[in-house]
Amino acid sequence: MVVLTKRELEQIALPAVQLAAPPLALVPEVDLSAVEASDAARSAAARAVAKACEDHGFFKVTGHGVPAPLLARLDAAAAAFFALPQRDKDKAAAGAGGGSPPFGYASKRIGDNGDLGWVEYLLLGVTAAGAAAAPVALSEGAESSCFRDVLDEHIAAVRRMTCTVLELMAQGLGLDDEGVFSRLVLDRDSDSLLRVNHYPARPEAAGEPAEVRRRLTGFGEHTDPQIISVLRSNDAAGLEMSLRDGTWVSVPSDTRSFFVNVGDALQVLTNGRFRSVRHRVVVSSARPRVSVIFFGGPPPRQRLAPLPGLVDREGGRRRYRDFTWREYKTSAYRTKLADNRLCYFETTATS
Ligand code: GA4
């Protein structure tokens, strides 16, 4: 269970000026069910995907083909895992039977630089075959190995859908090579991750004013470093997105859909045309929120640079210098969660 001291509670509650709940987001929707059936439907979906990535950096996917019974099993298995006694969850922590930091089970701590959240989570690497590189503890015992199996099935299905979305992005950008993004995620060395978050219901017992307890930061504002993030949650809301003008909007939960957001690496590859969106999770629900996110990342050795075709369209203006994903990740893990990580890689940056 996530237990906060008074100091920690102060650190992760939103400041008073932000306490009002933000307005609901009008989330662009893309239906994937017809993309294989006709070229016209595929082009329409590709245009919608590209527009959503340019305007907002996020959208919702329906008709995704991930079976509803699999999602129900995932919900049940994740809830059962987080309901385990603390000592059992700790066995899945990095260092305790497999995995190395930052992988495994953790609570409150986000990254290495002192960020805290009202959250406990499992962070897992994804293997070349598209399965969870889980700590040993998740492979032992009947209950945990069943969790592991359902995670593997989920990863396989979501990775497939993610690649369809990445191909639509390339098509929507008018690129000749539609596999230019999906290949990076399918590469046998792809640095992809799966994160399972459990945001406990807001703590009623803490002796804090109700407004503070209602606006605890589950996961502070940040952009995702990878190419693409594909999220699904249970029916407890909490995800908030920052629009281009800086206002925050709250994303209504939808258990039947997936939410896609652009990550920093894709902002670079598209020379800033697609927007890596700042987002956060704010716990205001009396029910726990569970979210499962697939982060599609490139191989560590992969050079990231704006695609030449997209640079040409901007009159040759190149917004980011070349760097490898390994370099970017090393730099990102030195930052605090809310920092702007891309500014060190802009062509105007002095480094
Ligand atoms: C955000 C996206 C993923 O959850 C994550 C996070 C990672 C972590 O929790 O350890 C980071 C964060 C995320 C952004 C920058 C660094 C790394 C914490 C942090 C301060 C697993 C990821 O890859 O980047």
Name the pLDDT band for 335 (thresholds 50, 70, 90).
Answer: very high
Q: How confident is the model at residue 228 (pLDDT cuts 50, 70, 90)?
A: very high
Q: pLDDT: is 120 or 284 the higher one?
A: 120
CA distances from 71 to 13, 64, 157, 337 (A): 31, 12, 10, 29
Per-residue pLDDT at 1 exceeds 60: no
Length of the chain: 351
Q: What is the DSSP letter of 24?
A: B
Q: How far away, in angstroms, is 224 Cα from ligand 1 center?
A: 7
- Summarize the chain as % helix, strand, coil (round to 5): 35, 25, 45
- Contact in structure between 329 and 117 (CB atoms under 8 Å): no
- Residue 281 · residue 289 · CB < 8 Å: yes
Q: For tokens 């962070």, name the residue.
A: 123
Q: Is 322 in the pocket of ligand 1 (CB under 6 A)?
A: no
Mean local confidence (pLDDT), 233-239: 95
What is the average pLDDT across 225-245?
A: 97
Question: Cα(51)–Cα(59) distance, rounded to whole angstroms?
Answer: 10
Query: Residue 99 pLDDT > 60, yes or no?
Result: no
Ligand 1 centroid distance, CA of 15 (Å): 22
| CATH architecture label of 6-345 | Sandwich (2.60)
pLDDT tens, position by position, 246-279: 999 999 999 999 999 999 999 999 999 999 999 9
Q: Does residue 95 have a pLDDT over 60?
A: no
C-alpha–C-alpha distance, residues 305 and 79, integer Å: 40
Q: CA separation (Å) from 216 to 11, 15, 29, 114?
A: 9, 10, 28, 17
pTM of the model: 0.95
Residue 309: what are its φ and ψ, rounded to 5°? -60, -35
Give, as one character, the DSSP assignment of residue 150: H
Cis peptide before 252 (omega within 30 of 0): no
Answer yes or no: 287 catalytic.
no
Beta partners for 24? 250
- The catalytic residue among 42, 213, 280, 289 is 289
Q: Ligand 1 centre from 276 Cα, in Å? A: 14
Beta bridge partners of 307: none
* 39-55 vs 142-172: helix crossing angle, rounded to 10: 100
For the chain, domain boundaries = 6-345
Q: Which two tokens stand for residue 351?
A: 């480094």
- The average pLDDT across 194-208 equals 83
Q: Which atom of ligand 1 is nearest to the CA of 293?
A: 4
98, pLDDT greater than 60: no
Q: Which residue has a Cα nearest atom 2 of ligand 1? A: 224
The residues pairing with 262 across neighbouring beta strands, listed in sequence order, are: 228
Sequence-ordered alpha helix ranges (H) in the chain:
6-12, 39-55, 68-82, 86-90, 142-172, 182-186, 210-214, 264-269, 308-313, 325-332
Q: How far apart are CA 15 and CA 216, in angstroms?
A: 10
Q: Whose CA is nearest to atom 13 of ligand 1?
A: 224
Q: In the structure, what pLDDT confidence band is assigned to residue 202 with cuts at 50, 70 and 90?
A: confident
In terms of DSSP bridges, do strands 29-31 and 58-62 run parallel, antiparallel, or are they unpaired?
parallel
pLDDT digits (tens, 9 = 90+) for 136-178: 788 777 677 789 999 999 999 999 999 999 999 999 999 999 9
More confident residue, 126 or 16: 126
CA distance 152 to 136: 14
351 falls in which pLDDT band (50, 70, 90)? very low
218 pLDDT band, cuts 50/70/90, is very high
